[in-house]
Amino acid sequence: MNENNLIEIRDLSIEFKLHSGTIRAVDQVSLDIPKGKVTALVGESGSGKSTLASAILNIVSSPGIIKNGSILFNGEDIVQYSANRLRQYCWTDVSMVFQAAQNALNPVMRIGDQMIETVLAHKKMRKEEIIKKASQLLDYVRLEPSRVLKAYPHELSGGMKQRVMIAFSLLLDPKLVILDEPTTALDVITQDYIFDILLKVHKEMNITMLLLSHDISVVAKVADRIGVMYAGKIVETGETFEMFENTKHPYTAGLIQAAPSLLDDVSKNKSIRGSSPNLLNLPPGCAFHPRCEFATDRCKQEQPRGISVGKGRIAACHLNEKGEMLA
Ligand SMILES: Nc1ncnc2c1ncn2[C@@H]1O[C@H](COP(=O)(O)OP(=O)(O)OP(=O)(O)O)[C@@H](O)[C@H]1O
């Protein structure tokens, strides 16, 4: 395992057996999550981001199963972890703030009691110590601890609840925090505020982060690296700046063009034609070809492999092999 990486995912496939057939929500994915960096996974709804992230905690929801592949953490494959080892690993090594996690707060329990309960579920610690730690973290995410610890969830705004969830995710000093759509459903000003806090946590507490989002422009503000997912596959990865400056996959280019906040003139926003593919009935060849304006006959027949397209850059598009890719 490369010592600069906290997590190395190799050749990971996750399947859901449904009545109507089997879908591969994650298809032969390899991805590095470098230590001390912010990595973002972007792609439309249903592309497999949450399923991939849940595998990093080894909590793929039923009926999903990890079909093959490995996820290395400190040189150990977490796919092979025993239930006991997994209990230590989840929250203490890696924690996750789920999509719409604010709604997961128990409505009839005070925030402080919920924080105590979370810590005690994972380790022995005196209640006063937990409250001290929780207060520090709430203060850190710019909330007033004395008020918030005593509050019930309905007494807090959406942005405050999201900050509470960030504090929750830090309670056991994890090395990696995964945040699934951390700012969806929040207004733009609150989104920026949450990202400010996330950057502060990342830099000052030296926490590695994995952000999941459908909006490439939102994560570009904070991510060092981006992985773009389409139909369960990673179709392009690279440093954020490079991905925007020198895009190597038409789907990434489409996501960038569709991103409203990057363009001054909103009339130039161009959504990607067509809709996300049905994983039960994927087209042959490149899964993106029916929506791709550059698709050739080869794209309709042959799946592109991920190839190196620069330092730390991988893209899975036939156009790159002939150097024809987008300028
Ligand atoms: N528990 C489940 N049962 C059946 N299918 C599932 C389950 N969880 C995910 N899937 C399927 O796996 C595919 C990928 O879903 P996933 O939630 O990982 O995508 P996503 O990119 O995170 O999208 P979103 O942001 O909407 O959650 C989808 O087709 C979804 O229907």
pLDDT block averages, 10 residues each, the chain of length 327:
95 96 96 96 95 95 95 94 89 89 86 95 93 95 95 93 92 95 83 89 93 92 96 97 94 90 60 89 95 95 93 92 59
Interval 227-263: pLDDT, tens: 999 999 999 999 999 999 999 999 999 999 988 655 5
Tokens 């989104």 locate to: 191
Edge-to-edge strands, sheet with 64-73: 21-34, 5-18, 64-73, 76-77
Give the residue, by CA position, lying nearest to ligand 1 atom 5.
16
CA 16 to ligand 1 center in whole angstroms: 9
CA 52 to ligand 1 center in whole angstroms: 9
pTM: 0.93
CA 198 to ligand 1 center in whole angstroms: 25
What whole-number distance in Å separates Cα of residue 211 and Cα of residue 222? 9
The string of DSSP letters for 221-259 reads TT-SEEEEEETTEEEEEEEHHHHHHS---HHHHHHHHH-
**pLDDT for residue 274:** 87
**pLDDT for residue 271:** 83
Other C-beta atoms lying within 10 Å of the C-beta of residue 66: 17
Which of 17, 22, 50, 235 best tests ligand 1's pocket when mutated (most atoms within 8 Å of CB)? 50
Burial 170-188 (b: 16+ CB within 10 A, else e): bbbebbbbbbbbbbeebee
**Any alpha helices (H) in 9-95, and if so which ranges?**
49-56, 83-92
CA 32 to ligand 1 center in whole angstroms: 22
CA 48 to ligand 1 center in whole angstroms: 6
**pLDDT for residue 327:** 43
**pLDDT for residue 303:** 95
User: Between helices 158-170 and 111-120, what is the axis angle to 10°?
Assistant: 20
CA 181 to ligand 1 center in whole angstroms: 14
**pLDDT for residue 267:** 62
Phi, psi of 145 (to 5 degrees): -55, -45
**pLDDT for residue 103:** 77
Give the residue, by CA position, lying nearest to ligand 1 atom 17.
50
**pLDDT for residue 99:** 82
What residues does ligand 1 touch, defined as CB less than 6 Å away? 16, 18, 23, 25, 43, 45-51, 61, 64, 279
Question: Per this entry, what is the length of the chain?
Answer: 327
- CB distance 212 to 181 below 8 Å: yes
Q: Residue 44: left (phi > 0), alpha (psi -120 to 50), or beta? A: beta
